[in-house]
Structure 1
Amino acid sequence: MRYVFYFVSLFLAINSIFAAITVFREKRDIAATWAWLLVLNLLPGIGFIIYFFIGKKISKEKIFDIQAQESIGMPELVEAQKQMLLEEERLLSKKQDTEDSKEITNLFLESSESILTKGNQVEFFVDGKEKFKSLIRDIYQAENHVHMIYYIFHNDYIGNMVLKALEDRAAAGVEVLVIYDALGSRALKLASFKRLIELGGRVETFFGSRLGLINFRINFRNHRKIVVIDGKIGYIGGFNVGNEYLGMDKKFGYWRDTHLKIEGNGVLALQSRFIMDWNAAVPTTPLEYEEKYFPYIPRKGETNLQIVSSGPDTEIQQIKKGYIKMISTADESVYIQTPYFVPDEALIETLQIAVMSGIDVKIMIPNKPDHPFIYQATLSYAAQMVDVGAEVYIYENGFLHSKTIVIDGEICSVGTANFDIRSFKLNFEVNAFMYDPSVAKQQESYFFKDMEKSRLLTKEEIENQSKWVKFKQSFSRLLSPIL
């Protein structure tokens, strides 16, 4: 037994030394550093296996490959808009040109070179059946190209409906390019696209691996959902492609999400984002600027918007900074919907300051998890917000997957980024930030309708939780920087 004790002690000592070396060799924030040290020391040996799959950062070479992709069609417009701001010329219409919207616009121009696009028409989809009905109809009407990115693409009823439409267009000579995420669509086989590829379509995985699930970049996912049709119609939001998004999964029931259909110059920014992602995924045969990808689009509506991207290829965390800026400029209200509420210190402090300043802060989360560990952390942070006076609503009409924020009924955002550390630091995300009171009011109205199907999380409910429930929440929160 003495030798066993010596062996175990030596093993644990060596494990602790290598844990420190492993974690400190890569630059990361303090919270994530401590979380990984905890995992590596609580799970000797096994923790390193977990780390090599989900803890390693993207290699400098791969980061360079991603950052090197030119923002095709955008740089000149960015510089022109920056010059307009310097000369104090109006970027937004008089109706939408508030001091807050001007500051947010400038933030995105500087941090992510996101141009402000004017004259867009925006249509909301909060139901999967309506979203896919519109999407499939628009695909069938494509004349030049269909460009598509989805985090999840299932080989099921709705997946086959979308695939059939893509095959139809490829057969007609339309350029069809599809990217799906290797982890999000891990059950999908490339063979599912065999006919599409035979008809001339091209399909690529993002951060895939020749060894299947043995993938040391598994922690960095392309969580974006983008469709661009003929450079004139764009889709962006929370819906992936799968039967559960139609409410056909008994586990989740009705699927409540938010998606946008954009017609106008905002589509050109979505197109640029798609081309950068395609060129990063397929660097050997990159797409180049062509007029067919960036056609002239006449004014379609009154909505001004910016398409903002973020990802682990940069430390800026553009979308998170946008959320913080929006919340900090609120005068009356902040309404948030998110399936995962795991904010970092900066974001939760900004929300707390808003509440204590008299701002009406309402946060809506699901009543059930699709990722149980993350949901426990969500409940912990939700309880913290209730404690300072925010209203937290738990949606009970199915599963809430919507990722939205609306400020003062004037400025709003819809996209793929959740209010969690993963979306801010580890996933490749994209959001539409819109400066149009009529659109913001519409988004606000959806929030109020959802409140009717939700219950208010009270301090009494939180206080009456069992010790085991509180332990699960606290432990999940402790690991939240690496969830």
Structure 2
Amino acid sequence: MKVFFVILIIVIILLAIILLDIFIGRAAYRKRAYEPVFTKKKSDIELIHCGADLVERMMQDIRDAVSSVHVMFFIMKNDEVSHNMFTLLKTKAQAGVSVYLLLDWSGSQKIKKPALETMKNAGVHVHFLNRPRFPYFFFHIQKRNHRKIAVIDGKVGYVGGFNIGEEYLGKKAKFGNWEDYHLRMTGEGVRDLQTLFTADLKRNTGSAELGPDVWPELPQGNIPHKIYATDGYALEKTYLANIARAKKRITICTPYYIPTKPLQQALVKARKNGVDVTLIVPMKSDHPLVREAAFTYYSELLDAGCLIYRFYQGFYHVKALIIDDHFSMIGTANFDQRSLFLNEEVNVEIDDVAFTKEVYATIEEDIKKSDLLTTENFKKRTFRQRPAEWLGKALSYFL
């Protein structure tokens, strides 16, 4: 019995040390957090919601590159899809194109060393972001660069939710079809993506000696938008401001619904004020406890009259906030506390009726592949699920 209590005390002390490290580290990091909000621009923007289409378009743009290819992903893997991209980047570097590949240290651990060495030997500049370090080791090991950005010749930009791997193209039976949203941009907004890529490169390597050809003169496009990056501090405030201005409807698409109390209250308040609130989430789960944690928030939403759809035809990884008939926010940030308080993210705010109509049309197709969660069905969930829900909510900050 004494041994049990000794072990318990040791575990409690270790947990306390880890939590103190994380929260003190986050407070210290705030002084150098990178959260630029770029001015409003106009670009031509295309919505892509099929992983195979995205990879095909992106790889063709990379093949056509003449001066620079800058690619940043949270996850790449040791699979055929990733290796096809590695081979293309290597080929472009050997042809004299400036090629940079930035990868999150935690998210891209599955890439084998020979693949990395082959690219580096061919001239690809490969860098891992957010390597764990002291002080505040446990805080830094939780930091993720969750951005997915590609900029080709400084003229074509990509940003959105897809990573590079077999599952994102629907090639893994466990998940099936992978639904996500990505943007392809041409026009003056691409410069902001290039600026963000360059800043992440410099912050992690200390240097970003890129040639002048990555900053070409860019034409103005047709769709007004604003790009902004978050680093664990400003995202909640941005979500709250956009939710507060809704007059008719709010649609949230997210793989992980783990909001803060202010965000949950803002949605309930909006619904009580007559705003239609719709939430689309996956039926499946790709991480432990995230689905269970989300259930602890559903009861209040359902009681307020919000609609919750659960996508069943594959996995739903979309990150979008749609307000009324004109405003769309699409990017890399989930509607969860990891994106709010730990991850480095990037979103695009698009204020355009025609584009938002296209997004709604895509969402309507997603809803056709979803089940509506009713209060009756919600109450039928098994009691065996309840402990997992409580545990998930207790750990929600880290999920």
Q: Give the TM bin, normalised by the shorter chain.
A: over 0.9
Q: 2:227 maps to which residue?
A: 307
Q: Choose the corresponding residue for 1:472, options 385, 388, 399.
A: 388
Q: How many Å separate the matches in 1 of 2:228 and 2:44?
A: 18
| Residue 381 of structure 1, CA deviation | 1.5
| Residue 64 of structure 1, CA deviation | 6.0
Q: 2:107 maps to which residue?
A: 184
Q: Which amino acid aligns with 1:116?
A: K
Q: How many Å separate the matches in 1 of 2:116 and 2:204?
A: 17
| Residue 466 of structure 1, CA deviation | 2.1
Asked if structure 1 preserves the Cα contact closer than 8 Å seen for 2:120 and 2:126, the reply is: yes
| Residue 58 of structure 1, CA deviation | 5.2
| Residue 209 of structure 1, CA deviation | 4.8
Q: How many Å separate the matches in 1 of 2:391 and 2:343?
A: 23
Q: How many Å separate the matches in 2 of 1:154 and 1:8?
A: 41
What does the per-residue CA deviation read over 1:327-386, in whole Å, with 9 as the maximum and x for residues that have no partner? 111111111110000000111111111111111110000001111212211122233211
Q: Choose the corresponding residue for 2:209, options 270, 283, 287.
A: 287
What does the per-residue CA deviation read over 1:184-231, in whole Å, with 9 as the maximum and x for residues that have no partner? 1111134312232122210000122599xx976220000000001111
Cα distance 1:59–1:179, how it changes in 2: closer, same or farther (>3 A)? farther
Asked if structure 2 preserves the Cα contact closer than 8 Å seen for 1:53 and 1:217, the reply is: no
Q: How many Å separate the matches in 1 of 2:138 and 2:262?
A: 31
Q: 1:327 maps to which residue?
A: 243
Q: How many Å separate the matches in 1 of 2:325 and 2:143?
A: 34
Q: Which amino acid aligns with 2:216?
A: P
Q: 1:296 maps to which residue?
A: 217
Q: How many Å separate the matches in 1 of 2:88 and 2:309?
A: 39
Q: How many Å separate the matches in 2 of 1:125 and 1:439?
A: 12
Cα distance 1:155–1:482, how it changes in 2: closer, same or farther (>3 A)? closer
Q: 1:429 maps to which residue?
A: 345
Q: Which amino acid aligns with 2:162?
A: F
Q: Choose the corresponding residue for 2:130, options 207, 210, 218.
A: 207
Q: Confirm whether residue 239 of structure 1 aligns to residue 162 of structure 2.
A: yes
Q: Which amino acid aligns with 2:192?
A: A
| Residue 139 of structure 1, CA deviation | 0.4
Q: 2:257 maps to which residue?
A: 341
| Residue 281 of structure 1, CA deviation | 1.1
Q: Which amino acid aligns with 1:384?
A: E
Q: How many Å separate the matches in 2 of 1:203 and 1:10?
A: 46
Asked if structure 2 preserves the Cα contact closer than 8 Å seen for 1:65 and 1:280, the reply is: no
Q: Secondary structure at the match of 1:217?
A: helix
Aligned length, in residue pairs: 397
| Residue 132 of structure 1, CA deviation | 0.4
Q: 1:44 maps to which residue?
A: 12
Cα distance 1:471–1:336, how it changes in 2: closer, same or farther (>3 A)? same
Q: How many Å separate the matches in 1 of 2:294 and 2:188?
A: 36
Q: 2:269 maps to which residue?
A: 353
Q: Confirm whether residue 115 of structure 1 aligns to residue 39 of structure 2.
A: yes
Q: How many Å separate the matches in 1 of 2:13 and 2:174?
A: 35
Tell me the TM-score normalized by structure 2: 0.93
Q: How many Å separate the matches in 1 of 2:380 and 2:283?
A: 17
Q: How many Å separate the matches in 2 of 1:160 and 1:112?
A: 33
Q: How many Å separate the matches in 2 of 1:371 and 1:478?
A: 15
Asked if structure 1 preserves the Cα contact closer than 8 Å seen for 2:258 and 2:335, the reply is: yes
Q: Which amino acid aligns with 1:251?
A: K
Q: Secondary structure at the match of 1:241?
A: coil
Q: Which ranges of structure 1 fall in alignment gaps of 5 or more residues?
A: 16-42, 68-110
Q: Secondary structure at the match of 1:362?
A: strand
Cα distance 1:376–1:175, how it changes in 2: closer, same or farther (>3 A)? same
Please give the residue correspondences for 1:368-447 in structure 2 after superposition, counting only pairs within 5 Å: 368-447=284-363
Q: Choose the corresponding residue for 1:174, options 70, 87, 97.
A: 97
**Please, what is the CA RMSD of the aligned residues?**
2.4
Q: Secondary structure at the match of 1:417?
A: coil
Cα distance 1:191–1:55, how it changes in 2: closer, same or farther (>3 A)? farther
Q: How many Å separate the matches in 1 of 2:297 and 2:62?
A: 41
Q: Secondary structure at the match of 2:69?
A: strand
Q: How many Å separate the matches in 1 of 2:21 and 2:51?
A: 33
